[in-house]
Amino acid sequence: MSSSSSIFPICVMFSAREREGRRILAQGCEKLSHGLGVLEQEVDKFRRLLCDLQASWEKEVQHQKNKT
Determine the pLDDT at residue 58: 96
Dist CA 59 CA 56 (whole Å)? 5
Dist CA 14 CA 65 (whole Å)? 73
Determine the pLDDT at residue 56: 97
What pTM was computed for the model?
Answer: 0.59
Determine the pLDDT at residue 13: 79
pLDDT tens digits, one per residue of 11-62? 567 888 999 999 999 999 999 999 999 999 999 999 999 999 999 999 999 9
Determine the pLDDT at residue 9: 57
Determine the pLDDT at residue 4: 53
